[in-house]
Amino acid sequence: MFYALKDPDHLVRADRARIAEKYYCPFCHAQVILRKGTFYQSHFAHKKQCLSKTALETSEHQDGKALLLMWAKAAGYFARSEVYLQELAQKPDILAKKKEQELVIEFQCAPLSYQSLCQRTTGYKQAGYQVIWVLGMNYRLKSKLDQKTAQFMHYSKKLGFYLIYLDVLEQRFEIDYALQMADLLELRYSRGYATDLNALKEFCQTDHHVSLAHLSLQQQKQQLLALESYVDKIKYRLRKQAYAENITLQQLFKANLSKRYYYPLWRTACFYWKSKIYLQYGEESSALAPAYIVHHFAYKFAFITIEKRK
């Protein structure tokens, strides 16, 4: 455990703690021991086993909950951790209340299925709770988006598509926003920071003037170079369909390449699914119902209605 309480509202990181001071577990409130050494990272340890069930969690999850709990209290909430909600059979990481507002904060470090995400979120909302999902470093964005991360995305006019992370070591939120995709290019996004819940709220309410970017000439050249190797990997069946239409796959793909970034909705590159639909349905492809395209080629989202964001 890398964080402990020096007093009820003061969370201290182990590498900044002093041996002479007393520190307490943020969850079971038992006194903990500060351990510093040359060959291992500074940390806090219980004298006896932690009485809280959080003892079985990773350090990232434990310390993240402690930070979120402290920030919720600093923002004026009556906040508790791991409170069992009997009507939902759920135990949110943080349950916070302020006047008429009831807030649930979930700090997700481990893998979570799309079905579980939807079920838990729906349960909280139906019970009257506002829900914030904050992601750990296992969900950090890479060059390509994947389903396990995409399902947590939100959308707002001020931020575009965005994800909220908690960097426990740096003690700050990280907001990856203005997420955009382009065929055969790396994911594009901006990153902002917030040092507590109030700063996070202010960041999300600020208009960041997000717009979809156009591709530079250099990026268009990158696309064409990547397309050459992409075509070589395409299955024979699709090649045969293109041949029947008297067109090469490279010509068809090139015609469907996007010249600008688009919303990060598609688990399959747009140029590919557009080409595939054309080969299968011909001129009738433009009349296909959006629900068909979404079902076959888009990510599954818990917080976004995709038909409105195509």
Q: What is the CATH number of the domain that holds 124?
A: 3.40.1350
113 burial level (CB within 10 Å; 0-12, 13-18, 19+): exposed
Q: Is 210 inside any structural domain? A: no
> Whose structure tokens read 């001020």?
158
Greatest mean pLDDT among 21-30, 134-143, 253-262, 279-288: 134-143
At residue 100, the pLDDT reads 87
pLDDT-based confidence at residue 75 (cuts at 50, 70, 90): very high
Q: Is 212 inside any structural domain? A: no
pLDDT-based confidence at residue 179 (cuts at 50, 70, 90): very high
Strand partners, 80: 95
**Helix (H) or strand (E) segment spanning residue 271:** helix 270-281
* CA-wise closest residue to 84 among 100, 66, 104: 104
pLDDT-based confidence at residue 309 (cuts at 50, 70, 90): very low
Q: Is 23 inside any structural domain? A: yes
* CA-wise closest residue to 72 among 201, 178, 158: 201
Q: Is 186 inside any structural domain? A: yes
Q: 194-221: b or e for each residue (b if 16 or more CB lie within 10 Å)? A: bebbebbeebbeeebebeeeebeeebee
User: How many other C-beta atoms lie within 10 A of the C-beta of residue 95?
Assistant: 24
CA 177 – CA 266 distance, rounded (Å): 17
Better pLDDT: 60 or 236: 60
**Which of 182, 205, 228 is the endpoint of a domain?**
205
Torsion, Cα of 144, 146, 149, 152 (10° steps)? 110
> Whose structure tokens read 């796959």?
249
Strand partners, 155: 161
State whether 74 and 86 are in the same domain: yes
State whether 150 and 265 are in the same domain: no
Number of domains in the chain: 3
State whether 129 and 198 are in the same domain: yes
State whether 67 and 91 are in the same domain: yes
pLDDT-based confidence at residue 302 (cuts at 50, 70, 90): very high
The whole-number average pLDDT for the span 164-189 is: 96
State whether 108 and 235 are in the same domain: no
Which domain covers residue 241, as residue numbers? 217-308
Residue 307 has pLDDT above 60, yes or no: no
State whether 196 and 90 are in the same domain: yes
User: How many other C-beta atoms lie within 10 A of the C-beta of residue 25?
Assistant: 23
CA–chain centroid gap for 269, Å, is 20
State whether 113 and 138 are in the same domain: yes
Residue-wise pLDDT tens digits, 218-242: 999 999 999 988 887 777 778 888 8
Q: Is 9 left (phi over 0), alpha (psi -120 to 50) or beta?
A: alpha
At residue 299, the pLDDT reads 96
For 307, residues 6+ apart whose C-beta sits below 8 A from its C-beta are 290, 291, 294
Mean pLDDT, all residues of the chain: 89
CA 165 – CA 161 distance, rounded (Å): 14
> Whose structure tokens read 């599954």?
300
CA 57 – CA 79 distance, rounded (Å): 20
Residue 123 Cα distances to 85, 110, 115, 126, angstroms: 11, 20, 12, 5
**Helix (H) or strand (E) segment spanning residue 146:** none
Q: Is 45 helix (H, G, I), strand (E, B) or coil?
A: strand
Q: Are 82 and 91 in contact (CB under 8 A)?
A: yes
State whether 229 and 280 are in the same domain: yes
Radius of gyration of the chain from its Cα atoms, rounded to whole angstroms = 24
Q: Is 211 inside any structural domain? A: no
pLDDT-based confidence at residue 310 (cuts at 50, 70, 90): very low
The whole-number average pLDDT for the span 76-89 is: 92
Widest distance between CA atoms in the chain:
80
Q: Is 222 inside any structural domain? A: yes
**Which of 148, 170, 205 is the endpoint of a domain?**
205
142 burial level (CB within 10 Å; 0-12, 13-18, 19+): exposed
